[in-house]
Amino acid sequence: MPILDVKELRTYFTTLRGPVKAVDGVSFQVEKGEAVGLAGESGCGKTTTALSILKILPSNGRVIGGKILFKGMDIVKLSEDEMRKKIRWKGVSIVFQGAMNALNPVFRVGDQISEAILTHEKISKEEADERVRKLFETVGLDPERAPNYPHEFSGGMRQRALIAMALACNPALLIADEPGTALDVIVAAQVLKLMRELKKKLDLAMIMITHDLSIIAETCEKCVIMYGGKVAEYADVVSIFKDPEHPYTQGLINAFPSIKAPRTELTSIPGSPPDLLDPPPACRFHPRCPYAMEICRKEEPMPIDIGKQHYVACHLVTKK
Give residues in contact with ligand SF4 (CB under 6 A): 246-247, 283, 285-286, 289, 291-293, 296, 301, 314-316
Measured from the CB of residue 40, what is the shortest distance to ligand SF4 in angstroms? 13
100 contact partners, CB below 8 Å, separation of at least 6: 155, 158, 182
Q: Which amino acid is at 294?
A: E
For ligand SF4, the closer of residues 97 and 249 by Cβ is 249
For ligand SF4, the closer of residues 225 and 283 by Cβ is 283
Measured from the CB of residue 64, what is the shortest distance to ligand SF4 in angstroms? 24
Q: In angstroms, what CA-CA distances link 296 with 35, 188, 284, 288?
A: 32, 39, 9, 11
For ligand SF4, the closer of residues 63 and 235 by Cβ is 235
Phi, psi of 89 (to 5 degrees): 75, -55
Give alpha helix (H) positions in the chain: 46-54, 80-82, 99-102, 109-120, 125-138, 155-166, 185-202, 213-219, 237-242, 247-254, 294-298, 315-319
Measured from the CB of residue 265, what is the shortest distance to ligand SF4 in angstroms? 22
Q: Is 252:66 a contact under the CB 8 Å cutoff?
A: no
Q: From its phi and psi, is residue 45 left (phi > 0), alpha (psi between -120 and 50) or beta?
A: left
For ligand SF4, the closer of residues 277 and 293 by Cβ is 293
Longest dimension (CA), the chain: 67
For ligand SF4, the closer of residues 256 and 291 by Cβ is 291
Measured from the CB of residue 134, what is the shortest distance to ligand SF4 in angstroms? 48
Measured from the CB of residue 293, what is the shortest distance to ligand SF4 in angstroms? 6
For ligand SF4, the closer of residues 94 and 224 by Cβ is 224
Measured from the CB of residue 60, what is the shortest distance to ligand SF4 in angstroms? 29
Measured from the CB of residue 290, what is the shortest distance to ligand SF4 in angstroms? 8
222 contact partners, CB below 8 Å, separation of at least 6: 28, 30, 34, 35, 36, 37, 234, 235, 236, 237
Q: From its phi and psi, is residue 203 left (phi > 0), alpha (psi between -120 and 50) or beta?
A: left
For ligand SF4, the closer of residues 27 and 181 by Cβ is 27
